[in-house]
Amino acid sequence: MDVSTYYLRAPLAARKTALVMLMLATLAPGGVAAQAMSLDQAVAAATQRAPILLARDASRQARSEDLARADALPDPTLVVGVQNFPIGGPDAYTLNQDRMTMQRIGISQALPSRAKRNARRELARALFDQASADAVSTTLDVQRATAKAWVQLWAAQHEREQLQDLQGQAALAVRATRARLAGGGGNAGDALATRASELELQNRIDDADARIAQARAGLQRWLGDAAVDAADAPPDFSSAPMSEARLLARLDQQGPLLAWDAREASADAALALARAEKRPDWSVGGGVAKRGGGGSNVVWLEIGVGLPLFPGNRQDRGISARSADLAAVHASREDARRMQAEAVRKAFARWQGLGSQVMRSRDTLLPLAHDRGRIALAAYSGGAPLQPWLEARRDEIDTRIDYATLLGEWGQAWAELAYLLPATDSSDRRTARKLEIAQ
């Protein structure tokens, strides 16, 4: 009996349920057919669409603007005032009677020391570099999260396919119990048990559909409202994107450690700025003055210089504080390097362990469970009890679900390793891996 004939002969409720499940499987929210994307396509799309990356770009642009003005001189100051203003005698409170009274207007310009301006420029450059590193690190985070969401969706789809493969056997068991019952060799309990097993399988499939919907929502977190399904062909999870030794040798180039160079440079610049505080700042000003009482108008010029006379409780303490900050950055960076090395080793161990379990399940456990169920069903058709098939059936369902779960965890462990290095460093990671294997 073909599918169309079976559908037309099925009860109305069953036909409605099948139609709804077909629509849920092929349509995304809004009634738009889901587009099948490979992992690389999903990662590339997320890199273009993720709002957090736009935020990082804006932050980087802000630091770029700060860098462009970091060592600029302060704005000049307009100076307006009155000098020698009388408050007693016949000319009290007048501006134009006393020859000593002057109405002044001029410009004053502060001139920070060159060392201080250089330190400010280096500090701004370090902050710009840190924003750039944060942008790259966030890009890697987005790519890694997208890859893991894609793998989760792919594994959920694979689980559903694994369970659907068992529907034919379930229908065969139902027909076998009915045939035995009709021939007088069975009992109603067997028929009910096989029907219950068929419904239990459908519940597992419905649960897989729910996981597919949840995984699709997780992927849409990074792709926007695009309706996406995982393409059937995943990457080769059995091949590491890069060897463990190579990753451990390039710790400082990995996402979590990218910003530490800039943080050290920022601490160095802050220390240089603290030391520059011992250098005096200068200022220069000038202008014109209008004298009262018919006196001649004059010009004026003044030069100021800072006097860091008490460095012990001021500048020296600032230098000590920034030196301690720099030491803290050095120690924190070393701790971060050890933490990242630990994460890489753990990720490799997890990937390798899951790979062994996946291979064992695929090559041994799944065939054994399938053969056990097939033999038990054949034995039942020949007159054996039904219970062995029911037990084999439950075990095979659990084995297939466990296999799909392992596949998802294995793929996510692979994704943890695949997006540790920026694209400029990891674009050739497959080629480098092949060369390492060849050597």
Q: How do the pLDDT tens digits run along the chain, 439 residues long?
A: 333 343 334 444 444 444 444 444 444 444 445 678 889 999 999 998 889 999 999 999 999 999 999 988 999 999 999 988 888 888 888 888 888 888 999 999 999 989 999 999 999 999 999 999 999 999 999 999 999 999 999 999 999 998 888 888 777 777 777 776 666 666 777 778 878 888 888 899 999 999 999 999 989 989 887 667 887 788 899 998 889 999 999 999 999 999 999 999 999 999 999 999 988 999 999 999 988 877 888 898 999 998 888 888 888 999 999 999 999 999 999 999 999 999 999 999 999 999 999 999 999 999 999 898 888 878 877 777 878 888 888 888 999 999 999 999 999 999 999 999 987 654 444 444 343 333 3
**CB 56, CB 131: distance < 8 Å:** yes
For 254, the 3-state DSSP assignment is coil
Predicted model pTM: 0.78
d(CA 284, CA 293): 29
434 φ/ψ sector (left φ>0, alpha ψ -120 to 50, else beta): alpha
Residue 384 confidence (pLDDT):
79
Write the CA distances from 73 to 70, 126, 366, integer angstroms. Answer: 9, 20, 74
> Rounded CA gap, 352 and 347, in Å?
9
Strand partners, 107: 78, 286
Q: How far apart are CA 393 and CA 407, in angstroms?
A: 21
Residues with Cβ < 8 Å from 334, sequence gap 6 or more?
A: none
Q: Which two tokens stand for residue 411?
A: 């793929």
> What are the DSSP calls for 182-211, one per residue?
HTTSS-HHHHHHHHHHHHHHHHHHHHHHHH
For residue 199, count CB atoms less than 10 angstroms from its CB and return exposed for 0-12, middle for 13-18, buried for 19 or more: exposed
Sign of the alpha-carbon dihedral angle for 386, 392, 395, 399: negative
- Separation between Cα atoms, residue 242 and residue 421, nearest integer Å: 10
Question: What domains, with CATH codes, occur in the chain?
Answer: 34-73+112-277+314-438 (1.20.1600.10)
Q: How large is the greatest C-alpha to C-alpha distance in the chain, in angstroms?
A: 138
> Mind giving me the DSSP string for 297-312?
PEEEEEEEE-----GG
Q: List the structure tokens of 376.
A: 């038990």
CA 433 – CA 429 distance, rounded (Å): 6
Give yes or no for a contact between 292 and 86, defined as CB atoms under 8 angstroms apart.
Answer: no
To the nearest whole number, what is the mean pLDDT of the chain? 83
Q: Which of 344, 401, 343, 392 is nearest to 371 (CA)?
A: 392
Q: Which residues lie below 8 Å from residue 15, measured CB to CB, with a gap of 6+?
A: 7
